[in-house]
Structure 1
Amino acid sequence: MNLTLAEVARCLGTLADEGFEETVVTEVKTDSRTVEPGDLFFCIAGENFDGHEFAALAAAKGACAVVASRMIGEIDAPVIMVRDTRTALGRLAACWRDTCGAKLVAVTGTAGKTTVKEMLFAVASQKFATAKNYRNFNNQIGLPTSMLKASADQELWIMELGISRRGDMEELAPVASPDLAIITNVGPGHLEGLGNEAGVASAKTALLRYLRQGGRAVISRDYPLLWNAALELVDAPVGFSGRDDAESDFSAAFLGALPDGRGRFRLRTPDGDGELTAPFCGRHYAENLACVAAAAHCLGLTRDDVVGGVQAMAADPQRFCRKIGGGITVIDDTYNANPLSMANALRTARELAGERPLVLVLGDMRELGAEAVLRHEELGRVIRETAPAMVFYKGDHFLDVERGFGGFMRRAGDVDEFLEAWRELCISEGAVLVKGSRSLGMELYANALCREVNAEAQGGGK
């Protein structure tokens, strides 16, 4: 960011003090521990902390000014007072985007949004100077801080938006105000805050109300709730499909896995129809690939650009990353889990395992509210489809999953207990899927098992 304090004050609707015109902001920070001289510090109040309590520390570390919503006493830095610091942070990000004149792509959805963002970034970066938010820094703090990290010479900003409750999108979407809105899919994720799948579709498509004039929407046709909700808000969304859908101009299909961990896909667009290989595997990746092809087309990019971009991607170590040691393939998909992503991962793991034994190391899916029991029983039924050799499970919903599964499961225990139980299976060839909600730390099990079988990464990305 390259704004003076005077420009910041004007963006926030406050008066500029003496000296503001000459003070250039280096970066915007919300964590006092990371403040460096010249940074602008926003006092953000969270569940476990209040940035106002650290304003003096930020000033002592050289903050050029502090943005606050309540009195903080005497500190060695100017204080810009606003009604709400979170809202002000978003307002400043939107102002910076307008100053830069960047085109913004907003990506949301129940599953796959981070992968679509990363894939589209890889594709678009071949032709445009492009910015993106880091990992899933996609909430009311992560989105604006990511936008403020983008530079004026980056003409395209690809930003992920994540929501978990009603009203989140109404806070995020005005900040993004996208030229292109992408909704990957909808499913039973964050039901605790969004109610049901219809509520998810309504909350996600609220993004479309904030499209800029002339803006376009890229929407999956594979989810009727999503497609129909989108049609109520935009006249002609660009549809895509992760199936062989003749009604979609953009579709993709998974054709199978290669021994080195790459996947074979068919990609059909108005520019052509043919096969390609990519550093990821699974039917759910076909959905992501078709989505990126549709978005790339809206940005003036070709099918060849899409193929070149995705083939150059690096694997994400926690998103369906295959790690092979001897005859054992460990599938590390530990970044997070919801019912949609869990079902996709299970079915893909079964397909990749082929005739070999499939072992599942799974954990609870969090934030499902009143539907938690139902959705975990449903998970058990999906597990049954995969005919696993063994299921290890961690979390409070063990009995719910077991009831849906109708077979024998083992509690995962701690990592050492899990490894001891794994050794008892005496499996020398097969596949192991490790997945669960982020807060369960399932990566500890994946990492331990990889060490046990000397597995190294072969592919990935989701």
Structure 2
Amino acid sequence: MNLTLAEVARCLGTLADEGFEETVVTEVKTDSRTVEPGDLFFCIAGENFDGHEFAAQAAASGACAVVASRMIEKPDAPVIMVRDTTAALGRLAACWRDTCGAKLVAVTGTAGKTTVKEMLYGVASRTFSTAKNYRNFNNQIGLPVSMLKASADQELWIMELGISRLGDMEELAPVASPDLAIITNVGPGHLEGLGNEAGVASAKTGLLRYLRQGGRAVVCKDYPLLWNAALELIDAPVGFSGRDDADTDFFAVFLGATPDGQGRFRLKTPDGDGELTAPFCGVHYAENLACVAAAAHCLGLSRDDVVEGVHAMTADPQRFCCKIGKGITVIDDTYNANPLSMAKSVRTAREMAGERPLILVLGDMRELGKEAMDRHEELGHVLREVAPAMVFYKGDHFLDVERGFGGFMRRAGDPDEFIEAWRELCITEGVILVKGSRSLKMELLANALCRELNAEPRGGAL
């Protein structure tokens, strides 16, 4: 960011004090521990900490000013008063984006948001100077901070928007005000805050209300609730699909895994139709690939640009990343889980295993509210469908999954207990999927298993 304090004050609707015109802001920070000389510190009040209590610390570290929403003991730095510091952070990000004149792509959806963002960045950054938000810094703090980190010479900003409750999109979307809106899919995620799948579709498509004049939308046609909700808001969304029988110009299908854990896909766009190999694997990534192809087309990029960009990508270690050791393929998909992503990952693992044993190491799917029991029982039905050789499970919904599965399951325990149980299986070949909600730290189990097998990454996914 390259704004003076006077410009910041004008963006936030306040008066500029003496000296503001000469003071240039280096960066915007919300954590006082990271403040460096010249930074602008926003006092954000969260569940566990209130930034107002650390204003003096930020000033002592060299903050050029502090943005606050209540009276604080005057720190050794100017104080800019606003009604709501989180909302003010969003206004400043929107103002900075307008100052830069950047084109912004906003990505949302139940599953695949970060994957699509990273894939599209990999494709678009070969042509455009491009910014993105780090991993899933996609909420009311992460989105504006990511936008404020973008520089004026980056002409394309690809930003992920994550929502978990009603009203979130109405707070995020005006900040992004996208030129291109992408909705990857909808499913039973964050039901505790969004109610049901129809509520999820309505909340996600709320992004389309904030498209800029002449803006376009890329929406998956494989989810009728999503597609119909989008059609209620805009006339001609660009559709994409993970099925080859869909009525759309953009689709991709998964053709199978290579021996080293990469994926073979067919990708069709108006520019051509053919096979490619990518560093990710699975039916769910076909949907993501088709989405990126449709978005790239809207940005003036070709199918060849997509293929070349995808080939150059590397694996994210916690997103369906395949690690092979001693004849065993470990799929580390521990970044997070919801019913949609869990079912897709389990079925893909089954396909990759083929005739070999499939072992599932799974954990609870969080934030499902009153539907949690039913959704975990439905997961059990998916497990019954894929017929794993063994299921290890971690979390409170063990019995719900077991009831749907109707087969024998073991509790995963801590990493040492899990490895001891793993050794008892005497498995010499096969595929192991490790997946669960982020708060369960399923990566500890995946890492322990990889150490046991001396497994190394091969291919993987974003």
Q: Give the TM-score range, shorter chain.
A: over 0.9
Equivalent residue of 1:126, what SS?
Answer: coil
Q: CA deviation at 1:261?
A: 1.6
Which residue of 1 is the match for residue 142 of structure 2? 142
Per-residue Cα deviation, 1:297-341 (whole angstroms, up to 9, x for no partner) = 000000000000011011000000000002100000000000000
Which residue of 2 is the match for residue 287 of structure 1? 287
Which residue of 1 is the match for residue 450 of structure 2? 450
Distance 2:155 2:259 in 1: 39
Per-residue Cα deviation, 1:185-238 (whole angstroms, up to 9, x for no partner) = 000000000000000000000000000000000000000000000000000000
Which residue of 2 is the match for residue 401 of structure 1? 401
Which residue of 1 is the match for residue 14 of structure 2? 14
Which residue of 1 is the match for residue 197 of structure 2? 197
Distance 1:106 1:363 in 2: 30
Per-residue Cα deviation, 1:410-446 (whole angstroms, up to 9, x for no partner) = 0111111110000000001111000000000000000
- Which amino acid is the alignment partner of residue 285 of structure 1? Y
Q: CA deviation at 1:246?
A: 4.3
Moved over 4 A (4+): none
Equivalent residue of 1:14, what SS?
Answer: coil
Identity %: 88
Which residue of 1 is the match for residue 43 of structure 2? 43
Which residue of 2 is the match for residue 130 of structure 1? 130
Which residue of 2 is the match for residue 250 of structure 1? 250
Superposition TM-score, scaled by structure 1 size: 1.00
Per-residue Cα deviation, 1:30-65 (whole angstroms, up to 9, x for no partner) = 000000000000000000000000000000000000
Which residue of 2 is the match for residue 120 of structure 1? 120
Distance 1:460 1:262 in 2: 6
Which residue of 1 is the match for residue 161 of structure 2? 161
Distance 1:65 1:321 in 2: 43
Q: How does 1:55-134 map to 2 (within 5 A)?
A: 55-134=55-134
Q: CA deviation at 1:6?
A: 0.2
Superposition TM-score, scaled by structure 2 size: 1.00
Distance 1:87 1:427 in 2: 54
Q: Which runs of 5+ in 1 are unaligned?
A: none
Which residue of 2 is the match for residue 434 of structure 1? 434
Equivalent residue of 1:330, what SS?
Answer: strand
Distance 1:245 1:461 in 2: 25
- Which amino acid is the alignment partner of residue 219 of structure 2? I
Which residue of 2 is the match for residue 358 of structure 1? 358
Which residue of 1 is the match for residue 267 of structure 2? 267
Which residue of 2 is the match for residue 239 of structure 1? 239
Distance 1:128 1:449 in 2: 40
Q: How does 1:198-217 map to 2 (within 5 A)?
A: 198-217=198-217
Q: CA deviation at 1:74?
A: 1.8
Per-residue Cα deviation, 1:266-306 (whole angstroms, up to 9, x for no partner) = 00000000011100000100000000000000000000000
Equivalent residue of 1:66, what SS?
Answer: strand
Question: Which range moves more in the overlay, 362-371 or 452-461?
Answer: 452-461
- Which amino acid is the alignment partner of residue 188 of structure 1? P
Q: How does 1:300-449 map to 2 (within 5 A)?
A: 300-449=300-449
Matched, 1:178 2:181: no
Question: Which range moves more in the overlay, 253-262 or 21-30?
Answer: 253-262
Could you say what the CA RMSD is over the residues aligned between the two structures, in angstroms?
0.5
Which residue of 1 is the match for residue 227 of structure 2? 227
Distance 2:63 2:248 in 1: 52
Equivalent residue of 1:87, what SS?
Answer: helix
Distance 1:131 1:177 in 2: 16
Distance 2:273 2:431 in 1: 32
Distance 1:331 1:314 in 2: 15
Distance 2:22 2:199 in 1: 48
Distance 1:369 1:74 in 2: 43
Distance 1:395 1:318 in 2: 19
Equivalent residue of 2:403, what SS?
Answer: helix
Distance 1:169 1:74 in 2: 35
Per-residue Cα deviation, 1:12-34 (whole angstroms, up to 9, x for no partner) = 00000000000000000000000
Q: CA deviation at 1:245?
A: 2.9
Distance 1:49 1:162 in 2: 22
Equivalent residue of 1:359, what SS?
Answer: strand
Equivalent residue of 2:135, what SS?
Answer: coil
Equivalent residue of 1:33, what SS?
Answer: helix
Distance 2:274 2:421 in 1: 45
Distance 2:274 2:379 in 1: 34
Distance 2:385 2:142 in 1: 38
Q: Which runs of 5+ in 2 are unaligned?
A: none
Distance 1:453 1:74 in 2: 57
Q: CA deviation at 1:166?
A: 0.2
Equivalent residue of 2:297, what SS?
Answer: helix
Equivalent residue of 2:408, what SS?
Answer: coil
Distance 2:362 2:252 in 1: 28
- Which amino acid is the alignment partner of residue 364 of structure 2? D
Distance 1:76 1:106 in 2: 38
Q: 1:246–1:196: structure 2 CA closer, same or farther, 3 Å change rule?
A: closer
Distance 1:438 1:393 in 2: 14
Equivalent residue of 1:351, what SS?
Answer: helix
- Which amino acid is the alignment partner of residue 368 of structure 2? L
